[in-house]
Amino acid sequence: MGLTIAYIIIAIYSIALLLIFFYSLAQLNLLVNYLGYKKQNQTAPKYNLMDAREIPMVTIQLPVYNEEYVMERLLENIAKIEYPKSKLEIQVLDDSTDDSVVDTAKWVKELQATGLDIQHIRRENRQGFKAGALKEGLEVAKGDFVAIFDADFLPDSDWLKKTVIYFKDPEIGVVQTRWGHINRDYSVLTKIQAFALDAHFTLEQVGRNAKGHFINFNGTAGIWRKECILDAGNWEGDTLTEDLDLSYRAQLKNWKFKYLEDVETPAELPVVISAARSQQFRWNKGGAENFRKTVWSVVSAKNIPFKTKFHGVMHLLNSSMFLCVFVVALLSIPTMFIKNIYPQFDLVFDALSFFILSTVILFVCYWFTYKSIQGSSFDNFVDYIKLFFTFFSVALGFSLHNSIAVLEGHMGKRSEFVRTPKFNINSLTESWKGNKYLTKKLSPNMLLEFALMLYFLYGMYLAIPLNDFGLFPFHFMLFLGFGFVFFKSLTARA
């Protein structure tokens, strides 16, 4: 290996580690915000729903597409929402192309017969995908406020009573609630998804919202002021995360977001890895697309402080951390050779070892979010340690898949909105096999993931002749992560 190549590898490796470190520092700052906010007494003006004159008109939008397995459950649950019927409208925005349309129409008619104002709205095409459906429904929506639920979400009957009250403050444009997980303990895959989402819905959402930094509507389990949507430019379908896009446009126009950590909205996590893959791809590519679309507006805005700009940029770069992690992983084996061949880099490697602090920071941050939901007993801490390293390993295993998504987003490559298939699984014994919406294609990326599993197995072996075990734990987690993703992807097509 030439010295010039060694310098290039070390430079790229160091930059990626530095970006990850900045990300971890941003998370640490959010943790400080989170802990400080929890100690404050929160007061806000609220509608008095006991006074009929203060009860606002609300539209609930249910954007659905080929949801055969969960449509009946969704409609039965939404029909239980406690709110005056004269002040509530429900729109089933149905873009389905399969037989579920017939059953949905039948269930909607049954609910209409009970006196519920519910409409089954169909489009001639899926232009704009979910964003297009929401926009078209908004044109005829009666409500001043618009609540949105994806097909797998099951809000409690008093959900509207807990959320719409905060719109008494005319500056509030969105109220977002925390996601719960009805099948958290179904499998290792659902446990680590719940773990990651819990961190987002506690540390990140509260930590940003506490200091007035930009947060995002999460696509579901939230409620918008209709005026805010229109003022921000309405829904746009030019990114795969239309929720993040509209959130930033609204906050750039000085609308405030209210996040309610204590209001949990249960939902179903993907139970099979192909479904998790499609969801991860959409979220990470959409994040990169929104960075490309929005970052300059954030940086150049005159109405927001520097710290909010910094957190906004880091927020928009969240998905790009997968690319940094993948670069570090890929270059970690060549750096072992460089360290062995070129002793002049010893000081550099000593300095780079400092970046293990990034993992320590994330470990601490995630513990505070974990214990806020699961509790802080010794047994829970032991469970947390196991879950953290399981999550970390599988996240590493997703790094290739998600890096491809991020690169496509930054390069502006357009792709279709691919929905996450739902399963209607509530117990540990129920099976996902036979779900007709699952993809049956073998992804070419899977072969690369298998090759990477072997690559990092080689990295573990290399530690022996080089007598350098510093990266052995990292390579072991990479080996486990890529192995998990590869073999689970195979069995998901069985």
| Spatial separation of the C-alpha atoms in residues 30 and 267, rounded to whole Å | 25
**Identity of the amino acid at 418:** V
Exposure b/e, 38-53, CB count within 10 A at least 16 = b: eeeeeeeeebebeeee
| Spatial separation of the C-alpha atoms in residues 119 and 97, rounded to whole Å | 18
Catalytic residue among 94, 95, 156, 245: 95
As a whole number of Å, the end-to-end CA separation of the chain is: 43
- Angle subtended at Cα 279 by Cα 90 and Cα 77, rounded to the nearest 5 degrees: 30
Report yes or no: 409 and 285 within 8 Å, Cβ to Cβ.
yes
Catalytic residue among 94, 152, 243, 245: 243
Run of H or E including 178: strand 172-181
φ/ψ of residue 441, rounded to 5: -75, 145
Token pair in block for residue 311: 């957190």
Q: Active site includes 379?
A: no
| Spatial separation of the C-alpha atoms in residues 286 and 189, rounded to whole Å | 22
Q: Which residue has the tokens 């909105």?
A: 417
| Spatial separation of the C-alpha atoms in residues 207 and 263, rounded to whole Å | 16
Q: Active site includes 144?
A: no
Sign of the Cα pseudo-torsion (284, 482, 192, 353, in order): negative
**Identity of the amino acid at 90:** I
| Spatial separation of the C-alpha atoms in residues 227 and 147, rounded to whole Å | 13
Token pair in block for residue 272: 């099979």
Length of the chain: 494
Token pair in block for residue 194: 């719940």
φ/ψ of residue 258, rounded to 5: -115, 120
Report yes or no: 23 and 29 within 8 Å, Cβ to Cβ.
no
What's the farthest any 2 CA atoms get from each other in the chain?
80
| Spatial separation of the C-alpha atoms in residues 396 and 174, rounded to whole Å | 33
| Spatial separation of the C-alpha atoms in residues 428 and 440, rounded to whole Å | 24
DSSP string of 413-451? Answer: ------PPPP----STT---TT-TTS--PPPHHHHHHHH
DSSP one-letter code for 334:
H
Q: Catalytic positions, please?
A: 95, 243
